Chains A and B, each alone.
Chain A
Amino acid sequence: MSDKYMKVEKIDHGTVIDHILPARAFDVLRVLGLSNDKTMSILVNSHSKKGGRKDILKLEDVELSAEAANLVALVSPQATINIIVGGKVVKKFNAEAPKVVRGILTCSNPNCISNQNEPITAEFRLSPDESHRYVCTYCDRDIIDLVKRISP
């Protein structure tokens, strides 16, 4: 067997999320909330041609909408999204941090009303500066350690 074998096969139809921050692929899957019946390949800490390490996710038969793809930017702002049809990349774009996030994160302030037993959905707004901070719509606090605040 060649020592240059392919670790993960190319996909014919679906989405490849590339340049995910190392060891963040599972967090990407959590924010996307994909069902378990999809075929997917996950490369963690793969060598990047640009140097360093990265994660890659290949989702078969799933064409992510731009809205869904942007959720990837919550946990890995530099990720690129490739939509594959017939084995070819038909669309490639960068994940863009969503301006408003509803229902995917929980507030890190335990005293926030969104963490109580109330019939509301937690909501966060992207700070207008370039700090990539998300602010709770209810308590106005910055979310701390965002990756840990992804709803189970």
Chain B
Amino acid sequence: MAVMDLAVRVRRGISSGAGKRLALGLAFVSPWLLGFLMFTVYPVVSSLYYSLHRYDLLRAPVFLGLGNYIEIFTEDPTFGTVVYNTFYYVLLSAPLGVVSAFLLASLLNTEIKGRPFFRAVFFIPAIVPAIVTAMVWSFLLNVQYGAINATLRGLGLSTIPFISSPRLAKPSLILIHMWAQGNAMVIFLASLQDIPRSLYEAATVDGANAWHRFWHVTIPMCTPVILFNLIMGFIGGFQNFTLPWLLTGGGPNQATEFYALFLYRQAFNYMRMGKASALAWILFVIIVAFTVTLFKSSARWVYYAGAGE
């Protein structure tokens, strides 16, 4: 729609000042525009095409209509489990990740010495390669000789089968997610430091104690960033792949078979490109619905100071 609008304006005289500015602007953004057409628009459209076909890379695509979608929703026994696992993970990991990031940032924002040091320590888990995170945690949480269980055994306590138990595998992944919240934490820290001191002083004059100030000044002032981090958490959570792939491989007993893992297997293990594309579109719709709902709800709970900026 906006693109059509642009095309009309382009036709209407390049010689005019607006036309010249348009041409210059488009020239500057042309790398993105080309990339957008080649690596976003084309694959999104052809993904829709493939989702209506059976395609195994070897034979020509065969039109199935909604066959892939019908199979996914009514015939595939794993799909229900996968959706349950994914929602379980997303609905817990996104809010808990935000809570973890927010509390760490709040703690860092108090009057402490060595803030850069602590900030670095809390931040580093977020930038370590996922493969390393997976290797270290699989070792740490190992039932037989992982550090945690070896310590428990040394103390004469019973061991915890973190990632080898279907019941604890998802909570373990959520725990690791909460440990790697450096990006969100840093964004929170910046927004905490932006809160004007005068607001706290005014609240104190009105007799607010520390808890009141936290609840009625700090939290409302941070709601835009809470929204931002929550959305990032949801979008990332729905696409979560590398850690469960490496740490649990979807197991035990499919307890961590998340959407992205299931989709990957359909595409690259079973060569079902059509079904994988249909799955991708379903995921896309879920993510858009979630994001839009969050944005809509934000009118009720997000506070924008100086709404003009």
Say whether A associates with B: no
B residues near A (Cβ < 8 Å) are: none
Interface residues of A (CB under 8 A from B): none
